[in-house]
Chain A
Amino acid sequence: MHEWALIRAIIAEVEEAVKRGYELEEIVVYLGELQNVDRGVVETYLGEALPQIAPGARVRYETEPARFRCRVCGREWGLDAVELDEATREAIHFVPEAVYSFVRCPFCGSRDYEITSGRGVRLALAVKRSEETAG
């Protein structure tokens, strides 16, 4: 499944940090609403893998709401302001930038806008105190 590719990428990144000698205190996985990954799948796989790679590290998951800002009219909006059918949601799930093919600013109709938050999956790592922050 597609989520698996992103899970493997997160595992590889955490492994790399541990290999570089960082002692991780907390791993935060941000899940962007726009990409709409299956949170249950992500939590299940990472819940098994991360304690083995970074023992003792807290793992948190945060869903970030998708927000957009129009470069033409300056208005901001969220996903609830636009209607997306199943096929379109699926396309955006794989490549969130596909949103520019399907969604226009609900206020002025422009396609010139930016995704200000909640795009896709990202990661934040906190290391134990007295050490440098990784990332």
Chain B
Amino acid sequence: MGSIDPRLAGARLMLSRVKAVVPVMSAKGGVGKTLVAVLTALHAARMGRRVGLLDLDVTSPSAHIALGVDPRRLQPEERDGVVPPEVAGVRFMTVAFYTWDKPTPLRGHAVDDAIREVLAVTNWGELDLLVVDTPPGLRDEALDTLEYLPGPRVLAVATPSRLARVGVERLLAILEEQGVDRYLVENMATGPGSLEELAERYKARYLGRIRYDPGVEDALGSPEKLLATEMARDTEQIARKLLEQLGL
């Protein structure tokens, strides 16, 4: 008699009333994926959509830092699972609520277990959009995310750097092979857009470019300040296009 993990069935139930799930992914770290995820969620909420933001980077969660959430003070409420607290109009969930920003060195199966557990217990209720900040790279945790989330529509983030470009090309190739809907955003752009041709090659929808904004660092920790940055202005256009593409 083998053992069965009931959590993925639980995760499907918890996500069954979410209209669109958008994992924000990058093949490399340091391309601004978390901020793109956070700002996209904040903008979509401001545009009147019911939005969730899930930080699935279980070993290095950071979305709560961008939002200024102290995980020891703000906690999900227990109701048919755990209901994510609302932060600036966005229902926000992170493993940091349970690890309190302490180091959480997880290996192999423990990473997968933490991801499954968070997905199984988080009661999202009804949402138009769930934005998921994923761990960078193309390792187990990123691939598992694609497998566990229903009908994922990936927002790939890259910078114009040649290194990031090669990385995102690999990511888009895999998404194309798996038949996953995909969008591409160019972050920290200093010149005119340079990744459009890449998006075209891998049949991804190019949603635009976000100019490099050194001011964003000082805005970390406050949703209001973040929304007042240059980066937020560019991301607003991207969020608008994304909602349009998702039919929301």
Contact = CB atoms under 8 A, between A and B. Distances in A.
- Count class of interface residues, chain A: 35 or more
A16 B13 CA distance: 13
A50 interface: no
Contact of A101 (B12, B78, B82, B99): B99
Contacts of B9: 9, 12-13, 16
Contact of A5 (B104, B113, B123): B123
Contacts of A108: none
B82 A13 contact: no
B227 interface: no
B48 interface: no
Given A2-B81, A97-B104, A97-B113, A9 B3 contact: no
Given A12-B9, A124-B1, A98 B104 contact: yes
Interface string B82-113: 10000000000001011110111111001001
Nearest to B95: A95
Given A5-B10, A16-B9, A98-B104, A135 B2 contact: yes
B151 to A, nearest CB: 18
A2 B103 CA distance: 25
A58 to B, nearest CB: 12
Interface in A1-48: 1-2, 4-6, 8-10, 12-13, 16, 26, 28, 30
Contacts of B80: 1, 4-5, 8
* Max chain B C-beta neighbours (<10 A), residue from A8, A121, A134: A8
Interface string A115-135: 100011111111000000111
Interface string B52-89: 00000010000000000000000000111110000000
A75 B104 CA distance: 20
A26 B14 CA distance: 27
Interface string A63-103: 00000000000000000000000000001101111101110
Of residues A9, A111, A135, which shows the largest number of chain B Cβ atoms within 10 Å of its Cβ?
A9
B121 A2 contact: yes
A100 B60 CA distance: 13
Contacts of A126: 1
A124 B4 contact: yes
A133 B104 contact: no
B103 A101 contact: yes
Contacts of B50: none
A113 to B, nearest CB: 10
B4 A101 contact: no
Interface in B1-53: 1-7, 9-14
B81 A111 contact: no
Contact of A12 (B6, B79, B98): B6
Given A1-B80, A12-B10, A94-B98, A125 B4 contact: yes
A135 B6 contact: no
Contact of B4 (A91, A111, A115, A123): A123
14 contacts: A2-B82, A2-B121, A4-B80, A5-B121, A9-B13, A30-B3, A91-B98, A95-B98, A95-B121, A98-B104, A101-B98, A101-B99, A124-B4, A135-B3
Complex A-B, nearest 3 residue pairs according to Cβ-Cβ distance, in ascending order: A9-B10, A5-B81, A12-B9
